[in-house]
Each structure stands twice: as structure tokens, then as C-alpha cells.
Structure 1
Amino acid sequence: MAKRAVHRRARKILGEDPVALVWCEIHKPIPTPPKDVHRAAGRNRLKPGHHWLLYVGAVVFFFVVIPIMLIDKLGDRLDRLLQGRRRRGPRAGGPQTPPEDRSSASSRDRARDRGQDPTNGIFDGDWSLTAGQLLLRWYGHSPNPKRLVMLARERVCIATSPRRRLSPTKADDFRTVVEFPLDQVRVEGEAGQPRGFATFQLRFTDGSWLEVGRLGEPEDADHFLRTISG
């Protein structure tokens, strides 16, 4: 469960004990908004920041590990090719694989495109409404992906830490970045969702909605979901 520092900070921000709170994240990539919409919102980042060690690891992987793997695989392939030629000897031609039917390939492409959700299933798709505007500024408040959703008696507050890294159980420097009175937002979710896959939605009075997941701290998550499903 979140440590006392988190609850103490939440109580200080809200001016009362939170009814429930939980750390969560946008659990899928934020879709790319139209350029004019993104520009009007201040061109905020649409992806979370990462620790510098992650970038170092990526560089080492792509420029050291992958070349070694490719060289090793190429060597094995050449060895098998040479061994096969020695066993069989030269052979002219061979059965050719008929070219793929372009019409069937394009049909599969269209079917795959139809199955794609341009919103990634995380919001209603209208960038001009409350959920879309919240998404456009989500990482503008902090590059850290974690957000603390706090339920109070008369409002819902979303807070974050300005740091790139934080411990959700000990963070005590988070601050509210946006809040909504309860007559403007409804928090919906089901209790007893599978651990690791639980999500909930913020549904606003203008008809827009936003879904978040990757709920942190099992006890807090369970209590939060029981509270909003009751």
C-alpha cells in the first residue's frame, strides 16, 4: 500500500482524507493528433520520458548486440549452404513458388486496416472535448508516465511528480495538475479485475472519456476499484 508520505501529501493537497487513490498510467501509446490540434495545444510531448540508462542500453543493443547476432546467423547460414552443395552437387533450376495473388494480399491489408483503432482504445477520439484536451497535455505536466488519481468527497484530482523517476509508494513531491468537480466527471470501473490488466475510465459530461490502466499498489488499486464500482 502507498506509504504514509503519499497519503500525508494527498491529505495536504485535498484538505481532507482521500476517499480512494491509485497510481495509474496511460496504458497504450497516445495516438497522433492532427498537426493543427497539436500546435494549438502547445506541441506538448505525447510520449513519456525515459531514464538515460535506457537510451544507453538501446544504443549498445542496436550497434553491438544486433551486429554480432547477424554475423553469427550469417555464418551459420553460409555453413549450411556450403554443406548442402557438397552433398547434392550443382543442380540447374528448381521449382519456383508462384507469385502471391496481389488481390488477396491487398484484401488482407484492408482487413488489417479496418481492425486498427486510431484511438488505441484509450479515449473517445474527439480531441476538442475534455478527454482529448487532457491527453494533449498529459505529458506536458511531467515526463513521468505515472499519475495519481485521488477521489475526494466533491472532486476528482489528478496529480503527478515533476521528476522523471519516482517510487509510487514513497513519492511526496507530487502536485495536482488538474481537478474536476463530481458534477463534471464520473469514474467507472469494475472490482475484481485481473491483476495487471485492470483499468478504469474517466467519463466527462461532454460525452468524452479516457481510459487508464497499469494500476499501482495492489491494495490501493483494489480499494479504488471497489469504491468506484459500489
Structure 2
Amino acid sequence: MAKRKVHRRARTILGEEPSTLVWCGLRKDIPQPPKDVHRAAGKKRLKPGRHWLYYVGLVLAAAIIIPWFLVEKFDELLGPKPGRREPRGRRDRDATTQHRDGERHRLQRPSDDVFDGNWELTAGQLLLRWYGQSPNHRRLLLLTDDRICLAASPGRRLSPTKADDFDIVAEFAQAGTRIHREPGRRHFFLHFTDGSWLNLGRLADREDAEHFLKAISA
């Protein structure tokens, strides 16, 4: 559960006690907007900032995986494993079929299901500013009797239970903005007055998440 200093900071920036709060984030990566839309929004970053340890991990993984891969390939060249192999033509046809099926499935899936798809409306504009406001993907959603607020921390690293440097980056009136949760799912939608919507998930901290989901389902 979030520590006292999280709640203390929340009270400070809101000016009142929140009815409920939860750390959340985008369920998927931000889709690539049209170039003119991105340019008009100031060409803000569309991906989270990474801590330097992330890149160290990638280098170490490459140092282990690449030699292993090369050894495997060298072993295959020196001595093919026994057993019947499919004819090359059939393997190629199967691979081509799988690629086409995969491509067809990818094209049928909505590429912008993180929001409604209209970059000019509230949800789209919020996404265009998302990582410009904070390099971290997490946002603290705060509910009061009449407001829905999103707060963010300026740092790349964040401990949801102990963070105390966040500030409000977006605020909406509850009278016009609705929170909708699909039964049995650990994500929810923010529906804005202009008809746009944002799909949020990655709820941090089980106790706060359960309390929040019960509150919005009531």
C-alpha cells in the first residue's frame, strides 16, 4: 500500500483528501501520430525514458546471447542433427503462409486501442504530452468528490509506494468525465466530454488497486 508520504503529497497538491488513488499507466505503447500532428504538439517524446541500468542490461544480454547463438549455428553447420527434415520447398511455403497469416492478423487488430484514435481530441492531446510531462510511464490517478486528476513524477525511476515528488499534470471535472471499468478486468477507461477515451492499466500496488477498482465499480 502507498506510504504516508504519498498520501501526504496527494493532500498537498489537491488541497483536500482524495477519495481514492492508484498508480496506473498506459496499457500499450503510444501509437505513432501523423508527422504534422506530432510537429504541432511540439514533437514531444512518445516513449518513456530509460534508466542507464536498462541499457547495461541490454549490453550484458547481447554479450551472452550472441555468442551462444553463434555456437549453436556453428554446431549445426558441423553436424546436422539426425532425423527426417521437411523438404525445403514445404518449409518455405509454411513460413510464407505463417507470415501472411500473422500480417493479416496484425492488420486486423486496432493499432490505436490505447485511445479512440483522434489526435485532435482530449485523449489524443493527453497522449501527445504524456512523456513530455514525465519520462516515467506511471501516473497517479486521484479522485475527489468533483475532480479526476492525473499526477506524475519528474524522475525516470519511481517507487509507487514511496514517491513524494509528483505533481498534477491533468485535471478533469467528474461532472463530465467518466471512469468505466470492464467487469473482471484490471484496467479502466477515461471517457471525456468530447467523446474521446483513454485506456489505462498497469495498476501498481495490489491493495490500492483493489480499493480503486471497487470504488469505480460501485
TM-score past 0.5 threshold:
yes
1:192, distance to aligned residue in structure 2 (A): 5.3
Change (3 A) 1:210 1:96: closer
Query: How far 1:69 moved relative to its partner?
Result: 1.2
Deviation at 1:96, TM superposition (A): 5.9
Q: Does 1:176 align with 2:164?
A: no
Q: Gaps spanning 5+ residues in structure 1: where?
A: 85-94
Please show how residues 65-214 of structure 1 align to structure 2 within 5 Å.
65-81=64-80, 97=89, 100=93, 108=101, 111-119=104-112, 121-190=113-182, 193=185, 198-214=186-202
Q: Distance in 2 between matches of 1:29 and 1:116?
A: 14
Contact 1:191 1:222 in 2 (8 A): no
- Post-superposition offset of 1:191: 6.3
Deviation at 1:219, TM superposition (A): 1.3
The answer for the alignment partner of 2:205 in structure 1 is 217
The one-letter code sitting in structure 2 at the alignment partner of 1:129 is L
The equivalent of 1:92 in structure 2 is: none
Question: C-alpha offsets along residues 198-224 of structure 1, whole Å, 9 cap, x if unaligned?
Answer: 101110011000011110111111111
Query: Considering only aligned residues, what root-mean-square deviation do their CA atoms show, in Å?
Result: 2.5
Q: What secondary structure is seen at the aligned counterpart in 2 of 1:136?
A: helix
- Which SS does the other structure have where 2:76 is aligned? helix
- Paired AA for residue 218 in structure 1: R
Q: Secondary structure at the match of 1:137?
A: helix
In structure 2, C-alpha distance between the alignment counterparts of 1:7 and 1:150, rounded to whole Å: 10
Give 1:118 deviation, angstroms.
Answer: 1.8
> How far apart, in 2, do the equivalents of 1:228 and 1:190 lie?
10
In terms of Rg, which structure is larger? Answer: 1
Following TM superposition, by how much is the alpha carbon of 1:135 offset from its aligned partner in structure 2, in angstroms? 0.6
Summarize the Cα distance change of 1:73–1:168 in structure 2 as closer, same or farther, 3 Å threshold: same
**Unmatched tracts of structure 2, length 5 or more:** none
Give the share of equivalent positions with the same residue, in percent.
Answer: 53
Label 1:59 to 1:199 Cα distance change in 2 as closer, same or farther (>3 A).
same
Judged with a 3 Å threshold, the aligned counterparts in structure 2 of structure 1 residues 70 and 39 are, in CA distance, closer, same or farther, namely same
